[in-house]
A and B are shown apart, each in its own frame.
Chain A
Amino acid sequence: MKKRRMYFRMITASLIRRRSRMLVALLSIAIGATILSGLVTIYYDVPRQMGAQFRNYGANMIFTAVDGSFTQDDINSGLSYIKKDDIVGVAPYRYENVRIREKSILAAGTDMEGAKAASPYWSIDGEWPSKDSEILIGANAAEQYELRIGDDVTVSYTPENAQVSGDNGEDIVEDETIDFKVVGILDTGGNEEDYVYMSMSDLEKLTNSETKIDVAELSISASSDQLKKYSQEISNQVSSINARLIKRVTASETTVLTKLQALVLLVTVVVLALTMICVATTMTAVVTERRKEIGLRKAIGASDKSIIWEFMGESMLLGCVGGILGSVLGFVFAQQVSIHVFSSSISFRPLLVPITILVSVAVTGISSLMPIKSATDVDPALVLKGE
């Protein structure tokens, strides 16, 4: 039998046949590895998770026209520079002055699905318009025009240059009108409450003009650096669009994210230190209760180096098993945290498995070094004396 085989036979026998003792040590290593692997998983997933959370606060990029207005094709060109997975929602807006019950109001034509995705914080009483001739009216405007959900309302638009002469020579204004049904009342706490929202096609019909977009709001899930890159690239490449970041959103996202990541990192380092202390304490206890065995081994000819290697082998094997358990349980832990805190599942990072095992082996090895070194001080004569 080769020496190496006997070595592995000894260290596995020590772990398997002394399992009730080793279970405590394994438990401390596995718990440490679990928390460590879980926290690292969360640390790397925080930007993604928080990015998704921040998207609830609305758009973080805005397209404005370089010269008057732009088209849907311009938006599409701009979007081609952004990774598809990063795009949460795009809402184009065209604003026109219209009249309801002879009073002027600002109408916004938009893509309702895009607005819903880009502004998830909008609170709607009723429903989002889902077909033509349905409108969403801001809460202030609804109050002002005494409109309720289900009311029919005529919206009129006076085109520029629409003046014609009447039979008696007086000026007559030919209005475009469309009958709408109020399906929802919008509550945002902002300027949106003063507007009326309709589909882009209804506004086109009302104004009897082709689509021209004044502004587009984009909600993009990306880091602030990436957002900067996107906006610069789009502004440079698409001549009709000026892409700008909504700084109050992106800056606060970055600040919160940096602080959160720093906090998770700090907790990870503290857990690592506590794990090392815990493992070192456990290994000290393991070595102390095996002083007689160490004395015996030395008495029958074991060198200090052999003793160190045997105990190191045991602790590293323990670290390896603890690391495997920890990487599995760590993912489960991170998953639970993610589901309960962020309400979404976490992505599995295969690279974390070997890293957790390596860190676990290293932490166990380093923590065991001192107690194992002290084990070599055991006097073999103590064994003979029966002490």
Chain B
Amino acid sequence: MSLLELKDVFKIYGELHALDSINMKVEKGEWLSIMGPSGSGKSTLMNIIGCMDKPTKGEVLLDGVDIAKQSSKNLTAIRRDKIGLIFQQFHLVNYLTAVENVMLAQYYHSMPDEKEAMEALERVGLADRAKHLPSQLSGGEQQRVCVARALINYPEIILADEPTGNLDEANEEIVVDLFHKLHNEGTTLIVVTHDPEVAEVAQRKIVLRSGKISKEVVNKNFTGKIHFE
């Protein structure tokens, strides 16, 4: 059984078909990129996979559970237990330190553990910045705190929305390297991106256009390492 399976998924706003009969599968431990121009339905798909929206039609099976039929309370629980989110705008709580931001995810999930949160920050190379507020961190550092927060609860899937959209090349490489490490540890990664270089790193790439999957490419030369042209 696939970890994630979308069966004939539609999202319709009035006349607009934001998603138009999407069928796709994501296997456990897979690294998938989703590409597409603005308005192609990437964000809508991301919201549905991330349990923040429901499809108008179709089934979205996550670990065998159809999230399209779940209540908003259950969706919150699924999001908390199974999904780690990384955003383009970083989105950290600005009055909590780096380590407290990581602990926030633990707090909602189970039990806050500062030692474990520090280890997560160490994995992303930010142990020495743990007591800093987001405003005292660079964009790249903030995104790495986001990665640490996303992986702290060992989620089934890490869902990243334009994770390198606001980063320079050096930080982009650091973040992609982190994804590589997570992939090697068996984490399932779904990365929505505009950046072809980031998209090419993944094992498989899906291209959306007008709410439909227009192309699917398997990376035969998968290394998990980014190559800048």
Residues on A facing B (Cβ under 8 Å): 1-3, 5-7, 9-10, 13-14, 17-18, 292-293, 296-304, 306, 379-381, 383-386
- Contacts A3-B112, A300-B149: A13 and B53 contacting too (C-beta < 8 A)? no
What is the minimal beta-carbon distance from A376 to any residue of chain B, in angstroms? 10
Number of interface residues of B (CB under 8 A): 36
| Bound Cα distance A383, B100 (Å) | 20
Q: Which residues of A contact B28 (CB under 8 A)?
A: none
A5 contacts across to B, CB distance below 8 A: 112
What is the CA–CA distance of A231 and B80 in the complex, to the nearest angstrom? 76
Task: Give the complex CA separation of A216 and B107 in angstroms.
Answer: 77
Tell me the B154-213 residues at the A interface (CB within 8 Å). 161
**In chain B, residues 77-109, which have Cβ atoms closer than 8 Å to a Cβ of chain A?**
77, 79-81, 85, 87-89, 91-96, 100, 103-105, 107-109
Q: Does B140 contact A (CB under 8 A)?
A: no
* B36 partner residues in chain A, CB cutoff 8 A: none
Return the contact of A384 from the options B43, B92, B103, B107 (Cβ within 8 A).
B43
- When distances are taken between beta carbons in the complex, the residues of chain B under 8 Å from A18 are 95
Let me know if B76 is at the binding interface, CB within 8 A: yes
26 contacts between A and B (CB under 8 A): A1-B112, A2-B111, A2-B112, A6-B103, A6-B107, A9-B100, A10-B96, A13-B95, A17-B95, A296-B93, A297-B93, A299-B50, A299-B52, A299-B79, A300-B79, A301-B79, A301-B81, A302-B76, A302-B80, A303-B108, A381-B52, A381-B53, A383-B91, A384-B161, A386-B88, A386-B89
Other than the given A293-B93, A299-B91, 9 more pairs (CB < 8 A) read: A1-B111, A1-B113, A1-B114, A6-B112, A17-B133, A303-B108, A306-B108, A384-B43, A384-B46
User: Assuming the A-B contacts A383-B87, A383-B91, are A13 and B52 also in contact, with contact meaning beta carbons closer than 8 angstroms in the complex?
Assistant: no
Q: Identify which of A14, A298, A301 contacts B109 (C-beta below 8 A).
A: A301
Is there contact, CB below 8 Å, between B95 and A300? Answer: no
How many angstroms between the C-alpha atoms of A292 and B96 in the bound complex? 15
Flag B13-48 by CB within 8 Å of A: 1 or 0 each. 000000000000000000000000000000100110
Number of A-B contacts (CB under 8 A): 86
Which residue of chain B has its CB nearest to the CB of A387?
Answer: B89
Contact B73 A384 (CB under 8 A): no
Query: Chain A's nearest CB lies how many Å from the CB of B160?
Result: 11
A154 to chain B, nearest CB (A): 91
- Give the shortest distance, in Å, between A318 (CB) and chain B (any CB): 14
A304 to B76, alpha carbons, bound, how many Å?
9
Q: A17-B95, A296-B91, A296-B93 in contact; A384/B50 too (CB < 8 A)?
A: yes
Contact between B96 and A13, CB atoms less than 8 A apart: yes
**Using a CB–CB distance below 8 Å, which chain B residues touch chain A?**
43, 46-47, 50, 52-53, 73, 76-77, 79-81, 85, 87-89, 91-96, 100, 103-105, 107-109, 111-114, 133, 149, 161
Contact (Cβ within 8 A) A380 B95: no
Q: Which one, B76, B88, B103, B105, contacts A1 given CB within 8 A? A: B103
A380 cross-chain contacts in B, Cβ below 8 A: 52
Contact present for B47 and A13 (CB under 8 Å): no
**Smallest CB gap from A305: residue in B:** B73
A300 touches B88 (CB 8 A): no
Residue from the set B52, B73, B80, B88 with the largest chain A CB neighbour count within 10 Å:
B52
Please name all residues of chain A whose beta carbon is closer than 8 Å to the beta carbon of B100 when the two chains form the complex.
9-10, 13
In the complex, are the beta carbons of A302 and B47 less than 8 A apart? no
Which residues of the partner chain A approach B96 to less than 8 Å between Cβ atoms? 10, 13
Rounded to whole Å, the gap between the CB of A7 and the closest CB of chain B is: 8
Also in contact, A301 and B47, with CB within 8 A (given A1-B103, A3-B111, A17-B133): no
> Within the complex, which residue of B43, B85, B89, B94 is in contact with A300, where a contact is CB–CB below 8 Å?
B85
B113 contact set on A, CB distance < 8 A: 1
Which residues of A lie under 8 Å from residue B80 when comparing CB positions?
A: 300-302
Q: How far is the CA of A379 from the CA of B114 in the complex (A)?
A: 29
Contacting pair A300 B111 (CB below 8 A): no
